[in-house]
Chains A and B, each alone.
Chain A
Amino acid sequence: MGRYIARRLFHSIFVLIGLTIVVFVISRIIGDPARLMLPLTATEQQYLDLREALGLNDPEWVQFVRFAGDVARADFGQSMWQHVPALPLIVERVPATLLLAFVTIAFAVGIAVPLGVVAAVRPRSITERIITVFSLGGVCVPDFWLGLMLILVLAVGLGWFPTSGYGSWEYIVLPMLTLTFRPLGRISQVVASSMLDELSKPYITTAQAKGLSERVVVFYHALKNAAIPIITLTGDEIANLTNGAVVVETVFAWPGVGLLFIQAIQRRDFPVIQAAVFVVALGVIAINLVVDLLYAYADPRVRYK
């Protein structure tokens, strides 16, 4: 197992290098930060001077060598707009993003799994149909609209929670609820379908014939064997949320990576874009590794060498 993890981490270095090159190339293609940084009334000479000052007039390969050398020292340079080092700017946003991601997933999984199980053990019942409509509705509802509706009802109307911001536990409730519906819907659908497969297998009949209670059969035997697709999807949802929930972060002014990342793209703030991609990629690599290791726990037939 230790060797497997070491090998995966070693491979991750190549992923990061490849990603860094791709992001460098794409960010140079998508536009010119100097135009955006200057007021519209700036002269053409001022624009050319700024390009020179930012090093944008150098050939691309010179810029890349300079960038790669800096990255090797974990220096992504200074934000072109904020004039502070880019990497700490991203890193200080990571805790807010991770907090929102894990609270959301914990809440979504905590509800989705029982819902999916109930839907699977009562197929074609009215309960199953209600759960299906609820979960598909959750997948379809737009974050932006839902967020504003929650603010109007729960914050303005009932006064239960603050409208937006970051701080004590009350602040996380509305963004978490807004984000929960999509993973809740997707995970409950996958739980229901995996459980249906498992519940139709012969070992379930054997377990029932042995006189085991339905709860043990469903939650101990069937659910554990149905876990692999659930783990995969949950990992995918966590990875999505660690990229930053841009819309929700914007509506609720949640100080996560996503909002900063989008602003950096809009402003062509290359150092921040590159640092953000690097940090997010590290997170996704770590999540994928954890997901792969959980497979071995869920299914003893999986062995990592």
Chain B
Amino acid sequence: MQKLEIIRGVYYDSVTLMLAAKELNKFKGVEYSSLSMGTEANYRIMANGGFDLTGINATPADLIIGVRGEEEDLLANAVAKAREYLISPPWEKTSCAAGYQPKSLDGAFSIMPDANLAIISVAGQYAVSVASECIDKGLNVMIFSDNVPLDKEIELKKHAAEKNLLVMGPDCGTAIIRGAALGMANVCPVGPVGIVAAAWTGLQEVHTQLARRGVGTMHGIGTGGRDVKADVGGLSALAAMDALAVDEEITVLLVIGKPPDPEVERRILAMAEKVGKPVVTCFIGSSTSGASASLFSCAELEESAAVTAALVKGMNPADAGKTLKEEISRWAGETVKSIGKRRGYLRGLYSGSALCYEAQLLTSQALGSVWSNSPLDKKMRLADSLVSHGHTIVDYGDDEFTQGRLHPMIDPTFRCERIVAEARDESVGVILFDVVLGYGCHRDPAGVVAEAVLEARRFYGKRIAFVASVCGTDDDPQNLSEQTKKLEFAGICVASSNARAARLAAALIEQ
């Protein structure tokens, strides 16, 4: 049985609606609930969730509340509860509700005349018009929203460039400006490094790895992953490099991302040769050519942080990379001896897309091809992302998992269900995952994941080795040390970087 109700002419952001639905699912008599604005995409998501929307005529400006269960009275109560949750949320309240919120940009400028950046996290279909208006008014923009059409991304970036402004994104989750964490970002020291990143969790990984080496970052400019593909041509990446090149506070530049389009890569490297300060590149897994005395190419994220840190400290960058590789190899060998190899397949469950990409790359070097919903090689694409096959690493941050559901860095619950399900599979020997800390992320991701691992261990014993990396610092709201302790208490082997975790996970598999 289902109950649907439409509330016309109200708007809530998707995070609020998904948090409300999550609370509603705990309510007596509710098997499943969904709160969505009436967009075409949300109609599809609700239908996939088992709702019959025949005859429903909600528009994108209307809210649909849907609940499923067995008893009509309980469902009616649940809908009333949903209204209550939206008015008075039971989850953490935000402080902005108390202050004045302007409805127009002119209103915003009247209280903040020196505003210089708009952060936009409204639904993708509205993000373009909001960003365009902001650029018109002379604001740089960081677009967290995804589902922005490619041609609109190009238009926005060209429009911004004409006004010497920058567009970060779309799908830009992390940025750092003068050390301040924007979006999902970590609390790290401020220093002389400037980062340009076409990969959001890649930026978090190098930012925190630099911090662990005592090196601070001044700026981390996210471009969105599509920026370095052929169509966009690296518009934001090149503009950011140009600005950081002349920034006197930056002494070393670090450029990271998944491998760019070859022509974009050529342009990035050509610019790197001209900036007049050392440039470290990490196009994950790719070894760039044309290295000069001031250009350092790395294939892994932690390696790029180690090389950058060495350059800042006036040490030999080549030695730093070599020493790191030896250290990881020694650590992985000792850890394998200590916890023992396992028979079976590797299963990786990731919340960060760049970290997932790096893990696939490193584990496939040792284990051969790895299946994924977001594979390195299209031939290795899983037919069903929820069904693993052989060695598999799944990206839970991929669009297919985040439409109608909170990102796994905000709500790890869905990914945790898979941890228990994979542990049930007798052909599995090692389970690998990431835990990402920082502003914007879940307040206790390690606690939630550790609980799932303890449940898996209760039912399936110690047959499986669990390996995790934690991306964060002790200054993050979640505290790295506290989060690590929770994972270790659950018997999870915690590595200090994603590259280390992936190498260890592969080494633990008996071949």
Our verdict on whether A and B bind, yes or no, reads: no
